[in-house]
Structure 1
Amino acid sequence: EVLPDVRIRTVEREEVEREHKIRAQATATTANVGKLRKKGRSTTEKSSPPTSAPPPLSLETMMTQGEGRANKGLVLSHRCLGNEYMPAIVSCVRGCSFLTAIRIDSNNFDDVGLGALLITLRDLKGSRVTELDISNNKRLTWQAAKPLASLLADDQTHTKLHTLTMVGVELGNKGVEILGPAVAKSHPLRSLDLRRCAIGDIGAAKLSAMLHENTELEVLRLAWNNIRAKGGKALAEMLRQHPSLMGLDLSHNALGDVGGSYIAHSLVLHRTMEWVDLSCNHLQVGSCMALSEVVRGRMDSIHHDDGAPGGGEDGGTADRSNTVVPLRSLTIDGNEISFLGGYWLLKGLASADLGHTSEAHESSATASGPATSTCEITMNRCSLF
């Protein structure tokens, strides 16, 4: 007879208890609203409220007056509020149908507190919220990815996020694995910021695989993680099949010369990328040779499209995936590319036959051409001499 695994039952029980806590936090909000308002009215009679009390003025009242309505955003950044304030925030979100942005970064919310807000956004009919910033809530763990994935992936959700910022949330590879399928299904999402989220090569590969399905994302930020050459290769394969990405931030990782070359080669044929940041990635001459081909190859594609039938101003309207956009900004600060690396980058700019500006901490060079586009390469602290 096979005995049941006690460890599996323990994990399942913990998951059920956590889900019950999140739902209890959300359903208790309505009951707490009256108490919060009573405390708000009673503050005029008390000299000083206790430190653990909610704000004396309800957030709903604050948002329906003055700058709140004008900006259409709930901005509570850097307040260190904690979970005891979450009922008031949820009440504000429910009562202010005009809200388009919620910024609760740098507070003290944990997985349970944030889960109550995310469930409310998922079930709130008529929600107009398109921007959510939950950065630097240090008590959040990879468990926060579960209600967030439910918000992004649920076909019945009433909140369609366009911008999601999670800087400093310790998702790790496990959290990205949970969040990845939701990102793949969330076609309204345009900007995803996962800086300082403890993502490694495994997480980068999981995210890249999911982004093959979501071709609407325009900006991806993965700076200050632990992505190495293997993760860079996975991201490069994603870039080859992602027609809409316009900005990529991979600074302060550990791509190395091999990983940087993978990224550069994938950008040569990319048609919409406008800016790339590869600062502090241990790039060397090999990456610079590949990046010079990015600038030169993209400009050649633009000139070729301009001369092709239908590519000019009078040739009709082409769809976005067939329009080549010039690379306008390339940042490689903090990489010891040496004089030879700088030479290859400037050679690529000169070969592109267009105006460019190159700024460096130790040296700078400028050349101009008759073209209408400009590519700027920044090489601060690159040991050019």
Structure 2
Amino acid sequence: MDCLHEQDDLPPSQSDNLGRSDFSETESIDKPRHLAVGEVMKVLYEKECKRLGVCPVGAFLRAPGKASVELRNYSLGPKGAAALAVPLLLDSSVTSVDLEGNSIGAEGLRSIVGALLESNYITHVNLANNQIGHHGAQMVKHLLLGNFYIVHINVSENKFTDIDADIFAQVLKENKHLKEMILSKNDFGEHSGKVLGPEIASNDSLELLDLSWNQIRGKGAIAIANAVKENVGLKVLRLEFNGFGNDGGSAMGQALAGNRTLKELDLSNNRITDTAVRDMAAGLAANDGLEILKIGVSSFQLPSPLALVEAINRNETGALRLLDLKDVCVSQEFLNVVEEIQQSRQFKAIYGLKSKIRIIKPEFVGAVNPDGEETTAPRQVDDSQGESGEGDRNVGATVRDQTDKNAAAEQTNDQSRDGDESENRAVGTLAASLKNSEDENSPGGDSEDEVNQKEETEQNKLNEINDSEQDTGRESNVAKETTEKNPDGIGIENIGKASPSSERETTDSPVSEREVASRASEREVASRTSGKAVASHTSDREVASRASEREADSRASEREADSRASEREATSRTSEREVVSRASEREATSRTSEREAASRASEREAASRSSERDVVSRTSDREVA
């Protein structure tokens, strides 16, 4: 082990005191006047390492007295952290401590926190990836609520869960001096978002918050977005790899419309959808403070990036200078708008591949397409020529040809409908009357017997109409036969006395025949239509009945699922309370043991000092004698 031994330069009495000293005793050691402060820190550190049986870190020994202590990934462990706490406690020149990746655990963190609580100079602390867990979270809270000189804290990748979110929510509520907090790469979930959201909204001193690489989604994501809407101090918010999805993204878009202080927002890898992008575009159109927006590696389609840059272009007072759409495919129209923005201000866009699909935009958002559906996004047309100018020129012609074909087909359909309109008018009227009568008589649904009775009544009416029309047809046929047999009126008595009405009836017989045939065909079509309508109504009722049964079953399953979820939540809360109770009991026991250990140490120290005084007294007596 390559260790320095500057303690040989000290007087024997002071060297022995350093060898026997513990963590509390080092405070009373006088610094040797012939050594610099850095050299004294080296001596103290070596002594503590020797006492605890650990090897000193060469990086600390080679650069003592520096303002920043950077010991990343040195595997210090709990004892190594305890040895380092002694020089940190006494060195007033250190302002930054970086102990990331040293696996110090909760035990080692206890020594570091004890030193940091006594320091008025250290402002930046990095304790990331040290496996401190729930007990470590409580110690961090004790540190941040007991030392307001710390403005930057990094406790990422320390296995914090939703239970620990309440601890950090209390820190945000009571500490109004902290500027930057990094809580990334932990196991915070939906509950954490709901707990942290209100405290973020009310904390105006925090400027940077990193919650990336967690599992905040659903209502938790919405709570974080609402906090952004109300907060007036936060400048940088990192939320990548959380799963905000559609709800969280839409809520964040609405928050951007009302926020004026946020400068950087990272929502990459959050499964942002097209609906959420629409809301975010609306927010960007009204936001004048955001400078950096990152929403790359998401699941929205080709027109969404175009909507974003168009909103940025419309906002003349906007401050956005970087749009990061990493691995997102964009169109040529997107690139054209980006160039237009760059002509008027500083702007940069990061994106994935360029697509050969061109976008045909509607005249306005919410236009109605030929199918009668509302258009909420630009349409896409495949540009087979890729990026060449020829393909660009052919797009307009292709669209115009397709439009002409659609117009010709529509005109043909109109003519066909005009031809069938007169034939179907009577049928439609009869079917409508049948439907209205059924709706009036059975508002809540008819039984099968009532439906059969109504069908029989309608059939009887149709039969009566058919009989009357057949009688009229026979009379007209008889008149026609008489006219054909006696074209000159021979053999017919009282020919001169024939009434005008009989003459008109004989003359109009061909017209009546056409009317009778037309009415018969109408009755036949109406009969078929009524049968189909009745069958359709019956099938509709059966479908409605089955749908109601399915809906009842679905509601029952939902109630059962809700009941099970509530039971699980109650069980989870009970277990959480038990865990917290046990943790508090362990903490109380630990504190008691610490007090006992401290008391024993003080007793030993007093005994040691008393024995030393006795030895000194005896020595002096011998010298006097």
- Shorter-chain TM-score above 0.5: yes
3-state secondary structure, aligned to 1:330: strand
1:331 and 2:331 are equivalent in the alignment: no
1:76 and 2:65 are equivalent in the alignment: no
Deviation at 1:357, TM superposition (A): 6.1
Find the counterpart in structure 2 of residue 347 from structure 1.
310
Deviation at 1:102, TM superposition (A): 0.6
Native 8 Å contact 1:330 1:377 kept in 2: no
Unpaired runs of 5+ residues, structure 2, are 1-20, 30-41, 358-625
Native 8 Å contact 2:161 2:188 kept in 1: yes
Native 8 Å contact 1:332 1:379 kept in 2: no
2 CA distance for matches of 1:235 and 1:39?
44
Deviation at 1:383, TM superposition (A): 9.1
Deviation at 1:251, TM superposition (A): 0.5
3-state secondary structure, aligned to 1:90: helix
User: Which amino acid is 1:225 matched to?
Assistant: N
Native 8 Å contact 2:293 2:322 kept in 1: no
Deviation at 1:52, TM superposition (A): 5.8
2 CA distance for matches of 1:194 and 1:39?
31
Structure 1 177/39 Cα, relative in aligned 2: closer, same or farther at 3 Å?
Answer: closer
Deviates more, 1:175-184 or 1:357-366: 357-366
1:228 aligned to 209, 217, 226, which one? 217
Deviates more, 1:267-276 or 1:348-357: 348-357
1:247-262 alignment, distance < 5 Å:
247-262=236-251
Deviation at 1:360, TM superposition (A): 5.2
1:146 and 2:146 are equivalent in the alignment: no
1:89 and 2:81 are equivalent in the alignment: no
1:275 aligned to 261, 264, 267, which one? 264
1:113 and 2:114 are equivalent in the alignment: no
2 CA distance for matches of 1:342 and 1:291?
11
3-state secondary structure, aligned to 2:302: helix
Native 8 Å contact 1:269 1:298 kept in 2: yes
Find the counterpart in structure 1 of residue 547 from structure 2.
none
Deviation at 1:379, TM superposition (A): 4.2
Native 8 Å contact 2:216 2:243 kept in 1: yes
Structure 1 80/356 Cα, relative in aligned 2: closer, same or farther at 3 Å?
Answer: closer
3-state secondary structure, aligned to 1:338: coil
Find the counterpart in structure 1 of residue 128 from structure 2.
135
Native 8 Å contact 2:266 2:294 kept in 1: yes
Deviation at 1:234, TM superposition (A): 0.7
3-state secondary structure, aligned to 1:102: strand
User: Which amino acid is 1:290 matched to?
Assistant: D
2 CA distance for matches of 1:272 and 1:218?
10
Find the counterpart in structure 1 of residue 56 from structure 2.
55
Native 8 Å contact 2:291 2:321 kept in 1: no
Deviation at 1:145, TM superposition (A): 1.3
2 CA distance for matches of 1:382 and 1:122?
55
2 CA distance for matches of 1:216 and 1:202?
24
Paired residues, number: 313
3-state secondary structure, aligned to 1:276: strand
Deviation at 1:381, TM superposition (A): 7.9
Native 8 Å contact 1:131 1:163 kept in 2: yes
1 CA distance for matches of 2:59 and 2:313?
60
3-state secondary structure, aligned to 2:164: helix
3-state secondary structure, aligned to 1:74: strand
What CA deviation, in whole Å up to 9, does each residue of 1:109-144 have, x standing for no partner? 1112102211221233xx21111111111x311111
What CA deviation, in whole Å up to 9, does each residue of 1:150-185 have, x standing for no partner? 11123xx3x521111112011111112112212221
Deviation at 1:95, TM superposition (A): 2.1
- TM-score normalized with structure 2 length: 0.46
Native 8 Å contact 1:254 1:282 kept in 2: yes
Native 8 Å contact 2:59 2:71 kept in 1: no
User: Which amino acid is 2:99 matched to?
Assistant: I
1:217 and 2:206 are equivalent in the alignment: yes
Native 8 Å contact 1:333 1:382 kept in 2: no
Native 8 Å contact 1:350 1:367 kept in 2: no
1:29 and 2:23 are equivalent in the alignment: yes
User: Which amino acid is 1:233 matched to?
Assistant: I
What CA deviation, in whole Å up to 9, does each residue of 1:254-295 have, x standing for no partner? 111111111121111101111111011111111111111222
User: Which amino acid is 2:139 matched to?
Assistant: P
Structure 1 384/248 Cα, relative in aligned 2: closer, same or farther at 3 Å?
Answer: farther
Find the counterpart in structure 2 of residue 162 from structure 1.
151
Native 8 Å contact 1:332 1:380 kept in 2: no
Larger RCO (CA within 8 A; separation ≥ 6): 1
Deviation at 1:341, TM superposition (A): 1.4
User: Which amino acid is 2:123 matched to?
Assistant: T
1 CA distance for matches of 2:231 and 2:45?
52
Native 8 Å contact 2:70 2:98 kept in 1: yes
2 CA distance for matches of 1:279 and 1:382?
19
Structure 1 369/336 Cα, relative in aligned 2: closer, same or farther at 3 Å?
Answer: closer
2 CA distance for matches of 1:93 and 1:74?
9
1 CA distance for matches of 2:291 and 2:264?
6
2 CA distance for matches of 1:246 and 1:367?
28
User: Which amino acid is 1:367 matched to?
Assistant: E
2 CA distance for matches of 1:350 and 1:38?
62
1:265 and 2:254 are equivalent in the alignment: yes
3-state secondary structure, aligned to 2:79: helix
What CA deviation, in whole Å up to 9, does each residue of 1:16-72 have, x standing for no partner? xxxxxxxxxxx95245899x949948x9xxxxx9x96230769478422xxxx2xx1
Identity of aligned residues (%): 18
Deviates more, 1:357-366 or 1:212-221: 357-366
1 CA distance for matches of 2:356 and 2:83?
55
2 CA distance for matches of 1:332 and 1:273?
15
2:94 aligned to 94, 99, 107, which one? 99
Structure 1 112/135 Cα, relative in aligned 2: closer, same or farther at 3 Å?
Answer: same
- RMSD over equivalenced CA pairs, Å: 3.2
- TM-score normalized with structure 1 length: 0.73
Find the counterpart in structure 2 of residue 237 from structure 1.
226
3-state secondary structure, aligned to 1:171: coil
Native 8 Å contact 1:337 1:382 kept in 2: no
Which structure is larger by alpha-carbon Rg, 1 or 2? 2
1:285 and 2:278 are equivalent in the alignment: no
Structure 1 110/360 Cα, relative in aligned 2: closer, same or farther at 3 Å?
Answer: closer
User: Which amino acid is 1:259 matched to?
Assistant: G
Structure 1 103/181 Cα, relative in aligned 2: closer, same or farther at 3 Å?
Answer: same
